[in-house]
Chains A and B, each alone.
Chain A
């Protein structure tokens, strides 16, 4: 049996074990997000998908869908907070879009477009984050990392390799490479690994192919991130994988 809940006044039906995010995307309703990826367990760290339920704020990607839920997402109060989150991400790293080969394919950039982020607002940090170009085929540009852990999760859960990790706490938190030398060349990462293809920004890059797609033909040039996310949403829930019930059983 399919139950329903309300999202911004619209009725959204959901299958058992779906989260609010999964049900919303399946139903064609976009909730902005960065650390959520349909192929991975929810992480709930970027907080961009924050919705309001009964006056309380919750992450849509970790909140199990419940019958009769009254949720608000696309309201100015939440969108203003989302803009602030994006602005803090933009000033914390070095996001120099004009020289970034992920520009046009970048989820952070596209989400900022979607939410009309016209300025970083805060003072730029300009951190000094050296690159790792040690691997013959792969470049790591830590300047753009937003700590979503998608590469960490992909490497562990899908590739079975454990190439990446986050180290440090608070403002010193940063992406590291799990090798004694700390260099990517000393890991077993391969171009076909899932970890190579999940970065929502431009940290993990294949060498030798930069800027191969012209401006105007890149992923988010054609369609805004909201429309693209709906295209990418998996339709039926995958049996045996229950994100909403994770940790409850």
Chain B
């Protein structure tokens, strides 16, 4: 049997919904695992991405750590795929983009009712938020995009298996969706 393809996945400024949707391929996961093995992923808990054939990233880029992780994926993955609305457009987290970040933090941590002794978290281990939330393709080159919030398990299955089979992935009516 030929060597299995290594696949890494991660969620940046996302909700893990795309990962959950990937699990909707159900028993086809066993078929997939005959073809691939996971590198860094919530499924393995490996902390850093090694050399991979495919990297799947959900979520946009909202803080400094996201930028580091995204660049590590780009460096190590032959094919980098943005999966889901947040990775492709910034999505829900990017809805803060037309607001001032300082005003957001002030309202959430200082001026909302019940925050008399509140303060803006400043632990040095916390990654610094970016001024704006960015889709992945504004930071690194992205090879493929699987839209959806989240894309269905069937869409993810079709896309990944097309890719593994060496075909240009195509999502027809019903599989391509933005919501």
B140 to chain A, nearest CB (A): 13
List A contacts of B94 (CB < 8 A).
96, 124, 126
Among A103, A113, A127, point to the contact of B176 (Cβ < 8 A): A113
- Please give me the residue from chain B that is nearest to A121 by CB atom: B137
A28 at the interface (CB under 8 A from B): no
Asked if B91 and A120 sit within 8 Å, CB to CB, the answer is no
B109 at the interface (CB under 8 A from A): no
Asked if A96 and B137 sit within 8 Å, CB to CB, the answer is no
Rounded to whole angstroms, the CA-CA distance of A74 and B82 in the bound complex is 28
A118 to chain B, nearest CB (A): 4
Rounded to whole angstroms, the CA-CA distance of A112 and B178 in the bound complex is 10
Asked if B89 and A96 sit within 8 Å, CB to CB, the answer is yes
Asked if B178 and A120 sit within 8 Å, CB to CB, the answer is no
Asked if B98 and A128 sit within 8 Å, CB to CB, the answer is yes
Asked if B88 and A103 sit within 8 Å, CB to CB, the answer is no
Asked if B173 and A224 sit within 8 Å, CB to CB, the answer is yes
Give the size of the chain B interface in residues (CB under 8 angstroms): 29
Known A97-B149, A119-B82: A126·B97 in contact at CB below 8 Å: yes
Rounded to whole angstroms, the CA-CA distance of A127 and B95 in the bound complex is 10
List A contacts of B174 (CB < 8 A).
221
A116 at the interface (CB under 8 A from B): yes
- Please give me the residue from chain A that is nearest to B173 by CB atom: A224
Chain A residues touching B, range: 20 to 34
List B contacts of A109 (CB < 8 A).
178
Asked if B135 and A124 sit within 8 Å, CB to CB, the answer is yes
List B contacts of A121 (CB < 8 A).
137
Q: Which residues of A (93-135) have their CB < 8 Å from a CB of B? A: 94-100, 103-104, 109, 112-113, 116, 118-121, 123-124, 126-128
B67 at the interface (CB under 8 A from A): no
Known A113-B173, A118-B145, A119-B137: A97·B98 in contact at CB below 8 Å: no
Can you list 11 pairs linking A and B with CB atoms under 8 Å apart? A96-B85, A96-B89, A96-B94, A96-B95, A97-B85, A103-B178, A113-B173, A118-B176, A119-B147, A124-B90, A127-B98
- Interface residues of chain B, those whose CB is within 8 Å of chain A, are 82, 85, 88-92, 94-95, 97-98, 132, 135, 137-138, 142, 144-147, 149, 170-171, 173-174, 176-179
